[in-house]
Amino acid sequence: MPKVSVIIPSYNHEKYVRYAIESVLNQTFQDFEIVICDDGSTDNTVREIKKIKDARIKLITLKSNRGVSTAINECLRHINGKYIAHLNSDDAFLSDKLKKQVAYLDDHPHIGVVFSYAQFIDEKGNVFTSETHHHSFMNHQKNRNRYQWLHYFFYNCRWLWHPSMMLRKSAHEVIGDHDGRLAQTHDFDLGIRLSLNYDIHIIQEPLIQFRIRAGNKNVSANTLQTQIRSMFELAHVLKRFLKIKSTQEFLKIFPEESKKYKDIIDNELIPFYVARAALNVEHVFHQKFALDTMYDLLQNPSIANKIKKISNFSYPDFIKLTGSHDIYHIQHIDHQNNIINQLTEQLSNFNSLKGITKAIFRKMQSRLEEIISRKNF
């Protein structure tokens, strides 16, 4: 069996996939297999993969595009290695990536997954530095224990360099597959599930190359469409925090909650405690997640009575919250309508003034013509 299974989901990356695969083949650590799943590419990606002759490469092809999570899961069904390394088909490994991460996991059996920093490359493979790019913050992350990471993930909804990830196969077997319903946040969702069970570690040096494509062509590019989709997905991904096992674990993740409340004593009410914490976050998707969670909890009479008894929170309190948290931006829409109405009125007044000005101008012009005519006479 190979020590490492490198999995590569590919889709329409004929220009980059060879570079990605060769970055694995050129590793200083050679005990690996490469499992590639092409997700129904419509360009020459599959042909480029087949040009590379190496017995360690397994290629699975899907007839139609089914999403990155499905492609990753298909790869995972064909792996044999002890460790699993992820790689996007437009990114690349630096030469010591596998060697350093394998050594770290070998030496730290309590760590479930290891990451690294990334080096930016452009479409031509040229290295560049950009501290203004929205991904650059990930190259400054420091190590935390898993409770601190869960706290960070909950309030910031940001993940690490997913293509730098190497995890134990045993960890994958515990947390399960990527969620095929998610496009923008499937890796973040996986990260929460990992952190609920394992410590993670970042090797604080670049071990991968992350390609920034022009024209926002990256799947993770900060476009309007990805922002809309991300907000929908995050409201669902936050549900993973409802799986916190005990109030002791909850307070390790949310230590500030113990200073606000003295009712965190019942494991069955952990979803309520999580929702209450989310309700104080300004993000709309946090507030929607919070209200949806409370709504579901209060449907159960037994839970509703327990929440009322322990936390002094009942149906009227919930109803008050649903009227005070504007998760659908009604106030914003109303504000915009008022602005539109004001501008419409100003335009109407301007047009009226313009008409009056024209009338005065015509009158003055007529008077001037009359004076000139008399003078000539």
The answer to whether residues 169 and 24 belong to one domain is: yes
| Listed residues 162, 185, 219: the one ending a domain | 219
| pLDDT above 90: residue 322 | yes
Count of domains for the chain: 3
pTM of the model: 0.83
The answer to whether residues 145 and 36 belong to one domain is: yes
The answer to whether residues 139 and 41 belong to one domain is: yes
Cα–Cα distance for residue pair 88/345, rounded to 1 Å: 54
Cα–Cα distance for residue pair 377/373, rounded to 1 Å: 6
| Listed residues 219, 252, 267: the one ending a domain | 219
Secondary structure tally for the chain: helices H, strands E:
15, 9
Confidence of residue 366 (pLDDT cuts 50, 70, 90): confident
Q: What is the DSSP letter of 107?
A: H
Question: Residue 276: which domain range?
Answer: 244-324
Tell me the sheet residues that pair with 316. none
Q: What angle do CA 355, 360, 362 make, to 5 degrees?
A: 95
As given in the structure block, the two tokens for residue 121 are 């490359």
Instruction: Tell me if 329 is assigned to some domain.
Output: no
Instruction: Tell me if 226 is assigned to some domain.
Output: no
The answer to whether residues 126 and 180 belong to one domain is: yes
| pLDDT above 70: residue 17 | yes
Instruction: Tell me if 274 is assigned to some domain.
Output: yes
Instruction: Tell me if 225 is assigned to some domain.
Output: no
Q: Using one digit for the tens of pLDDT, what is the confidence trace for 190-207?
A: 999 999 999 999 999 999
pLDDT at 335: 54
- Output 113 or 216, whichever has higher pLDDT: 113
Instruction: Tell me if 181 is assigned to some domain.
Output: yes
The answer to whether residues 29 and 176 belong to one domain is: yes
* Mean pLDDT score, 319-330: 85
| pLDDT above 50: residue 218 | no
Q: What is the DSSP letter of 11?
A: S
The answer to whether residues 203 and 295 belong to one domain is: no
The answer to whether residues 277 and 347 belong to one domain is: no
pLDDT at 337: 61
The answer to whether residues 71 and 140 belong to one domain is: yes
Q: Where are the beta strands (DSSP E) in 301-372?
A: none
Q: What's the CATH code of the domain at 138?
A: 3.90.550.10
Instruction: Tell me if 237 is assigned to some domain.
Output: no
Contact 241, 154 (CB under 8 A): yes
The answer to whether residues 265 and 365 belong to one domain is: no
142-156, 226-240, 275-289, 338-352: range with lowest mean pLDDT = 338-352
Instruction: Tell me if 236 is assigned to some domain.
Output: no
The answer to whether residues 189 and 150 belong to one domain is: yes
Closest by CA to 36, choosing from 66, 8, 55, is: 8
What is the rounded (10 degree) CA torsion for 174, 180, 181, 182? 80
Instruction: Tell me if 40 is assigned to some domain.
Output: yes
The answer to whether residues 272 and 363 belong to one domain is: no
Q: What angle do CA 145, 150, 153 make, to 5 degrees?
A: 125
Listed as own residue / partner, the contacts of 228-232 with beta carbons closer than 8 Å and 24 or more positions apart are: 229/183, 229/184, 230/184, 230/185, 231/284, 231/285, 232/285
Confidence of residue 105 (pLDDT cuts 50, 70, 90): very high
CB-CB neighbours of 99 under 10 Å: 15
Cα–Cα distance for residue pair 33/1, rounded to 1 Å: 9
Q: How many CA atoms lie within 13 A of 284 on its CB side?
A: 12
50-54, 116-120, 212-216, 290-294: range with lowest mean pLDDT = 212-216
The answer to whether residues 296 and 341 belong to one domain is: no
